[in-house]
Amino acid sequence: MRRIALTVIFLLCALSCGGTAAKVAYRNFDSFILYELDDLFALSQSQKAAASEIAAGAMRWHRSEVLPGYIPLLERARSAIQTGIGEKEYAALSALTAAESRRIAEYIAPRAAEFALTLTDAQLDRFIIRCGGFNRKAEDRIREKRGDPGAYRVDQMMKTLEHFYGSFSGAQRTQINAIILSNDDIEHPELYLRYLQETQRGFAASVRTKDRTIVREYLRGWICRDPSFLPLYYRADLERAAAVRARIIAEVDRTVVRPENRRAGAAVFQEYIDAVRDLSIR
């Protein structure tokens, strides 16, 4: 079900709405989520109808109640890219984004719980089997990291930086590589895989209790990664990784980024702002 949660967050989060393709995906959320659910659980016709209704309601709510509120956050991020991002500002923007994820989780969890309680034991067994394919992606990341840990670290962080700052010159990339490698590791995919497997089994176990409150609270914590929900080993790793990521971004912003990178970053966030305005229901 975390696969569904990730889909929900991706499609309903304003930071993922930039570009024509993503806007098309957002507008077709109902169909996409139904496809994902059917793939995981092999839904009955009545379950498909219920899932479609929930998804359509979530879309209406998000477009009218949530999307307009993203604009000030995105404008703040655009300003930070233009003037410089320090660790404190990065942390503040991350906290605001996490708060929006919690808001989405609070809306989705009770509705998703009602749907989840219709799942049969056979459908839950299928879910665990189907999750194996998703987990193999995490296993691939583990093998990739073991093959060349340094290159893996640089590649993962460089993708994030170039998304927001545009392309870097060869000299800039050399500087960035040194900054990344001088800091602690960001990703521990083996811990992520452990967390995935535990929560997949945990979701199925919560549904088998047939207790509405247990299922709702499990989904709420799982969807937004509420700190109280996370196992200690994974919560500590996420907190450590967030601090390292903030430190790297702040140092790159301070010592490597040029005016043309700031212009590229501002353009990215302006694209997000325009997309959110276009998708919002006023």
Q: Where are the alpha helices (DSSP H) in 13-86?
A: 20-27, 29-41, 45-61, 67-83
pLDDT of residue 19: 53
Phi, psi of 148, deg, nearest 5? -155, 85
Which two three-digit tokens encode residue 217?
Answer: 């609270």
Measured CA to CA, the distance from residue 280 to residue 19 in angstroms comes to: 15
Kind plus residue range of the DSSP H or E element containing 38? helix 29-41
pLDDT tens by residue, 140-175: 878 877 788 888 889 889 998 998 899 999 999 999
Helix (H, G, I), strand (E, B) or coil at 150: helix
- Residue 12 pLDDT greater than 70, yes or no: no
Closest C-alpha to 114, from 201, 215, 30: 215
The confidence band for 100, taking pLDDT boundaries of 50, 70 and 90, is confident
122 vs 13, higher pLDDT: 122
Task: Please say if the pLDDT value at position 10 is more than 70.
Answer: no
Is residue 116 within 8 Å of residue 207, measured between CB atoms? yes
Residue 41 token pair: 């659980």
Q: Is the pLDDT of residue 6 over 50?
A: no
Measured between alpha carbons, how far is 234 from 98 in angstroms, rounded to an integer? 17
What percentage of the chain's residues is helix, strand, coil (to nearest 5)? Answer: 85, 0, 15
* Mean pLDDT score, 45-70: 91
Helices (H), 117-231: 121-147, 149-165, 170-182, 189-208, 212-224
Contact status, residue 64 vs residue 281, Cβ threshold 8 Å: yes
What is the pLDDT averaged over residues 82-106? Answer: 90
Residue in this structure with the two tokens 């959110």, named with its chain if needed? 276
Ranked by mean pLDDT, the top range of 12-16, 19-23, 52-56 is: 52-56
Q: Which sign, positive or negative, has the C-alpha torsion 212, 214, 217, 223?
A: negative
Separation of alpha carbons 66 and 71, rounded Å = 10
At residue 212, the pLDDT reads 97
Residue 1 has pLDDT above 60, yes or no: no
Q: Which of 118, 117, 69, 123 is nearest to 97 (CA)?
A: 69
Residue with tokens 């969890």: 109
The Cα angle at residue 270 between residues 167 and 173, in degrees rounded to 5: 15
| 59's tokens | 């879309």
Reading the block at residue 146, the tokens are 């073991």
Does pTM top 0.75 for this prediction? Answer: yes
What are 76-87's pLDDT values in tens digits? 999 999 999 999
211-269, pLDDT tens digit by residue? 999 999 999 999 888 999 999 999 999 999 999 999 999 999 999 999 999 999 999 99
